[in-house]
Structure 1
């Protein structure tokens, strides 16, 4: 009588789980709404304050796909280089952070490798303020803003920002950009910090008044209000003491 053959365990299930975990990690890495980035503390997204236009785009791959919160949507150009993205704000803004979402693993030859950034009050006075170059980028790419502010400070004041994609990986023709986010300083955060500073100062004054209160009570009993012993251990001079009847 032959014994039943037991199939040997395989690692297919484990490999499937590992692949799923890796895919989830990739999606998390490209999630535009990640709130665990410490560099975003004290900033707020101002994408909604601007009008967005692109030079060309494939059907269903225009501005709405670029600004979609889903990382699998993207803007795909459909024309000659350079491909341009123009962001026109309806008021003067102070940009503190600008970043672009790219994914070489999915886009390959559609991935930008060299970009140019310009800003101004309109199309007539655009000036280049920075550039970016990279090979096989994955995730959010920060655009350097050092030296763009007044006196060489960090930050950018403008009405209009333009992104120009000059080159793609392996000289690809069209481009894929999966997201763009622009941030400004959040005045509400600084206001809360100022209010907390005022509260701490007022509490400090209350504590100081409470410490001075015993001295004032002592003065009412005929003691001197000046305590020079707390200032380096000096004794109170005779002429400052209470008069003595002799």
Structure 2
């Protein structure tokens, strides 16, 4: 197996391998409260077989002591990216200091788990480039066209 650094190395051939009893936890902490929209996890049953997660819980919160489960996923022989929306009950992106991914069960009752990649996406912010304020005063209207 490989270490936690392999979860972010953009290489689908490497993986993080847990060690010990379930649940297996991956904790993602941010320096400041961050708006997050989607969590993506790469899983490959054909490569990992009994090491492949079959039940995952996604939790968010300010720290380890107040995590709330926002999604629970049942995976059946996954192959590829699993997209997990990180939204509240009103479909708005969540603001959080921490995301915890808990592997609750593996395929074929496997003990340890493999995770190949994890990505966290924030919402795309609209750019102010190309947006001009509406010039509606009389003074501005005098100069709105070029002669």
**Which has more radius of gyration?**
1
Decide whether the 8 Å contact of 1:100 with 1:178 is kept in 2. yes
User: In angstroms, what is the RMSD of aligned CA positions?
Assistant: 2.2
Verify: 1:183 aligned to 2:121, yes or no.
yes
Q: Distance in 1 between matches of 2:121 and 2:31?
A: 15
* Structure 1 residue 153, shift from structure 2 partner: 2.8
TM-score by length of 2: 0.86
Specify the alignment match of 1:160 in structure 2.
Answer: 98
* Structure 1 residue 165, shift from structure 2 partner: 0.1
Superposed CA offset, 1:131-186 (max 9, x none): 1111010111011334x16xx23311100110100010011111010000001124
Verify: 1:198 aligned to 2:132, yes or no.
yes
Q: Distance in 2 between matches of 1:119 and 1:69?
A: 24
Where does structure 1 differ by over 3 angstroms across 4 or more consecutive aligned residues? 205-210
Structure 1: runs of 5 or more not aligned: 1-57, 214-246
Count of aligned residue pairs for this structure pair: 142
Verify: 1:126 aligned to 2:64, yes or no.
no
User: Aligned pair in 2 of structure 1 residues 66, 206: CA closer, same or farther (>3 Å)?
Assistant: farther
Specify the alignment match of 2:111 in structure 1.
Answer: 173
Specify the alignment match of 1:103 in structure 2.
Answer: 44
Greater RCO, CA 8 A, separation 6+:
2
Verify: 1:82 aligned to 2:82, yes or no.
no
Q: Distance in 1 between matches of 2:67 and 2:24?
A: 16
TM-score by length of 1: 0.53
Decide whether the 8 Å contact of 1:131 with 1:143 is kept in 2. no
